[in-house]
Amino acid sequence: MLSNILAGSVVALSIGKTYAAGYAWSGVNMGGFDFGCTTDGTCDLSKVVIPLHQYQGNDGAGQMQHFTKNDGLNAFRLPVGWQFLVNNELGGTLDSTAMTKYDALVQACLDTGAYCIIDIHNYARWNGEIIGQGGPKDSDFASLWGQLATKYAKQTKVVMGIVNEPHDIPDMTIWATSVQAAVTAIRKAGATEHTILLPGTGYTSAESFVSSGSGPALAKVTNADGSIDNLVFDVHKYLDSDNSGTHAACVGNDISAAFAPLATWLRQEKRQALLSEIGGGSSTASCMTDVCQVADYLNENSDVYLGMLGWAAGSFDPTSYVLSLTPTQSGTTWTDQPLLTKCFADKFGGSSGNPSTTPTGSDTGSETTAPDTPTSSQTQYLGGILPHFSSIAAAQSAAASSTFPAAETSSNAALGGGLDNFGGNGGAAAITSSSSTTSAMVQMPTGTNMPVPVGAVSSWAFHNTSTAIVPAGTGIPVPVSTTPGGFQPTTLQTVVVSSSQSVPSAVVGTEPGSSGGGAAVWGAKGPKPVAGTGGSLDNLGSSGEEEDDDECDWVEDDEES
């Protein structure tokens, strides 16, 4: 069974098509604490550049606030040298002065509501020697992680990235034993629900993760109770000529060579991976194409790919560093690097937790100032639709000012049924199909947040539910949350209505899953938004005009639908 952090909803329609709503995590590496660390595991602490204003560095806290609020990103990787944390004392305790500085970055990340990945940026080494294979003892490594896990045991959005890019590991079986020691220490310290990232050799390349023996060896690493919940494989991939991430140009998307074979293996093993590093020239046309194609592939295969994080922002110079994703700031306005806008913000098709968004942006970098107003153009998002906004803040602002009309209360599923006053008279979004047709299967991960603001915020009544059933051919997940504007199931559930079961029409109801109150078909057969029929979630924020076929993957209105 997949972990409860499965990425994005997967909607398997009865007509045989599958829509992947998108991977769950999208974000950026925040470099600076790792500066001075090299591939032999040495770290020159004099070269550390802390990405925080209070330490005379770049405004990393402001960058992360911008990335979450304006771009909808929800994960940050925070590289740091092992030597920095223990003041160059192998096996020693965490240095209080160093931890005060690093923790300031972690807390700035947590303040955004994002996932915060602690990354020990040492290449499975300490000063040239491999952990557990001639270098530091497993107990030294476990001690480090036990102390970090103790500190962040109550912060479940802190993610434990075991170590950055192991390479030239002589024995993967022994390496898996070292990783197991760290995992065991983390769990014993009380961090029982935290995600842990497991890296392999070959710089944990997605292309060689299986062939190098990394995947098979690390698949045997378990939690203390023998389970594999929240143990995710950590992979990297750069698309330049030598796969090093040192050139501005990309030479291909490597989907057939790396991501597709790994996806096949992950499904076979019922496991998941996070692409925690990928990058390219921040305004290079080849990388705009190739990195975006990788994002598309990960969105389409979000059952096995948790997400992707770009390299890198933080202390990196926004103009001189070839792979910089650092935004520039003028007053209160941040301007993103084009690659981040196009291939990270714009491609983020799903979310797990807060925040989430449906960013738009442009190929030339995005500026965020005042919120936009909704237009009649609409986009598919997690199986549903939203008006286009430049940011989640803009959507929230529009919802708060009652820009969106209230959903209709039609009891006729053939006319859409709408959301039946989502909350209020309509109750929680519930089932349904208008007859005994086969409904779609919906998988929703814990914390999935789908903003669908309808009506005034004050009129919404939310119910907690962990299941979702949708009509055949619609592809809209309908669990709800206690967070205004979002569907947020409490646990992962899969619900299938068979062709022999009868499900009620969407009518005005007050109970989720009983008399309706949920989204029914969109228009007569549910495939496209239709004006006046509740087709586009009751013409959410617009006149409900039909979407062009090339804009959204709507199901065609044919005999099968």
Residue 321 domain-assigned (yes or no) = yes
Confidence of residue 349 (pLDDT cuts 50, 70, 90): low
Determine which one of 165, 207, 408, 547 is catalytic: 165
β-strand pairing of 305-314 with 25-31: parallel
C-alpha 383/C-alpha 385 separation (Å) is 7
Q: Same structural domain for residues 2 and 77? A: no
In a domain, 361, yes or no: no
The mean predicted confidence, pLDDT, of the chain is: 69
Residue 559 lies in a domain: no
- What would the two tokens of residue 110 be? 């947590």
* Residue type (1 letter), 171: D
User: Comparing 101 with 473, which gets the higher pLDDT?
Assistant: 101
Are both 134 and 6 inside the same structural domain? Answer: no
Residues 93 and 207 in one domain: yes
Q: Give SS3 for 487.
A: strand
Same domain, 183 and 239: yes
From the candidates 89, 129, 277, 545, which is the catalytic residue? 277
Percent pLDDT > 90 in the chain is: 57
Least confident of 101-105, 150-154, 549-553: 549-553
Residue 249: strand, helix, or coil: coil
Annotate 324-371 with three-state secondary structure: CCCCEEECCEEECCHHHHHHHHCCCCCCCCCCCCCCCCCCCCCECCCC
The model's confidence at residue 270, banded by pLDDT at 50, 70 and 90, is very high
With cut-offs at 50, 70 and 90, classify the pLDDT of residue 397.
low
* Last-in-domain residue among 310, 345, 380: 345
Backbone angles phi, psi at 387, to 5 degrees: -65, 155
Q: Are residues 339 and 417 in the same domain?
A: no
In one letter, which amino acid is 98? A
The count of domains in the chain is 2
Q: Is the pLDDT of residue 45 over 70?
A: yes
Half-sphere exposure of 490 (CA within 13 A, CB side): 6
* Highest-pLDDT range among 367-371, 396-400, 436-440: 396-400
pLDDT of residue 561: 28
Q: Is residue 269 helix, strand or coil?
A: helix
Mark whether 229 and 373 lie in a shared domain.
no
Q: How far apart are CA 126 and CA 41, in angstroms?
A: 5
Element (H, E) at 161: strand 158-161
341 pLDDT tier (thresholds 50, 70, 90): very high
The span from the CA of 530 to the CA of 541, in Å, is 14
Any idea which residue has 């009506």 for tokens?
455
pLDDT at 21 over 80: no
Q: Which residues contact 559 (CB under 8 A, 6 or more apart)?
A: none
Q: Which of 345, 380, 408 is the last residue of a domain?
A: 345
- Neighbouring CB atoms inside 10 A of 244's CB total 9
At residue 400, the pLDDT reads 53
Contact 7, 23 (CB under 8 A): yes
User: Tens of pLDDT along 443-472?
Assistant: 323 333 333 322 222 222 222 223 333 333
Q: CB–CB of 480/463 below 8 Å? A: yes
Q: Residue 540 CB: number of other CB atoms within 10 A?
A: 23
User: Model confidence over 55-88: pLDDT tens digits?
Assistant: 999 999 999 999 999 999 999 999 999 999 999 9
Q: Write down the pLDDT at residue 145.
A: 99
Q: Nearest CA to 23 among 291, 351, 448? A: 351
Which of 93-102, 298-307, 507-516 is predicted least confidently? 507-516
Q: Same domain, yes or no, for 94 and 14?
A: no
Q: What is the pLDDT of residue 520?
A: 28
Which is more confidently placed, 349 or 280? 280
Q: Which residue has 């007050």 as its token pair?
A: 510
* Residues spanned by the domain of 418: 1-20+366-553
Q: Is residue 330 part of a domain?
A: yes
Q: Residue 93: phi, psi to the nearest 5?
A: -80, 160
pLDDT exceeds 90 at position 355:
no
Please answer whether residues 291 and 278 qualify as being in contact, where contact means their C-beta atoms are separated by less than 8 angstroms: yes
Residues 286, 430, single domain; the answer is: no
All residues at 6 or more sequence positions from 125 whose CB lies less than 8 Å from its CB, including other chains: 40, 41, 131, 135
Phi, psi (degrees; rounded to nearest 5) at 70: -105, -25
From 296, 316, 345, give the residue that closes a domain: 345
269 counts as catalytic? no
279 falls within a domain: yes
- The pLDDT, as a whole number, for residue 70 is 94
What's the pLDDT at 246? 94
Residue 355 lies in a domain: no
Q: What is the pLDDT of residues 407-457, one digit of tens each?
A: 333 333 333 333 322 322 222 232 222 222 222 222 323 333 333 322 222
With cut-offs at 50, 70 and 90, classify the pLDDT of residue 170.
very high
Q: Are residues 315 and 48 in contact, defined by beta-carbon separation less than 8 angstroms?
A: no
Residue 509 pLDDT level (bands cut at 50, 70, 90): very low
Would the pLDDT of 479 be above 60? no
Locate the DSSP E strands across 463-552. Answer: 486-487, 493-495
Query: Does residue 510 have a pLDDT over 50?
Result: no
Please indicate whether residue 556 is annotated as part of the active site: no
Residue among 425, 537, 522, 520 at smallest CA distance from 485: 537
Tell me: pLDDT of 250 over 70.
yes
Mean pLDDT of the region 535-551? 28
- Three-state DSSP class for residue 521: coil
CA dihedral over 509, 515, 521, 524, signed as positive or negative: negative
Range from 233-242, 249-258, 359-368 carrying the lowest mean pLDDT: 359-368
Would you say residue 549 lies in a domain?
yes
Same-domain pairing of 32 and 6? no
Do both 59 and 181 map to the same domain?
A: yes
The b/e string for 279-293 (b: 16+ C-beta within 10 A; e otherwise) is bbbbbbebbbbbbbb
pLDDT tens per residue across span 111-164: 999 999 999 999 999 999 999 999 999 999 999 999 999 999 999 999 999 999
Residue 289 lies in a domain: yes
Q: CATH no. for residue 259?
A: 3.20.20.80
Q: Dihedral, CA atoms, 340, 343, 345, 348, nearest 10 degrees?
A: -150
Tell me which of 515 and 404 has the higher pLDDT. 404
- pLDDT recorded at residue 276: 99
Mean pLDDT of 290-306: 95
Q: Categorize the per-residue pLDDT at 22 as very low, low, confident or very high, splitting at 50, 70 and 90.
A: confident
Same domain, 379 and 279: no
How far apart (Å, rounded) are the C-alpha atoms in residues 355 and 521? 28
- No. of H helices and E strands in the chain? 11, 20
pLDDT value at residue 348: 84
Phi first, then psi: what are they for 339, rounded to 5°?
A: -65, -40
- Dihedral sign computed on CA atoms, order 223, 228, 225, 78: positive
Residues 132 and 64 in one domain: yes
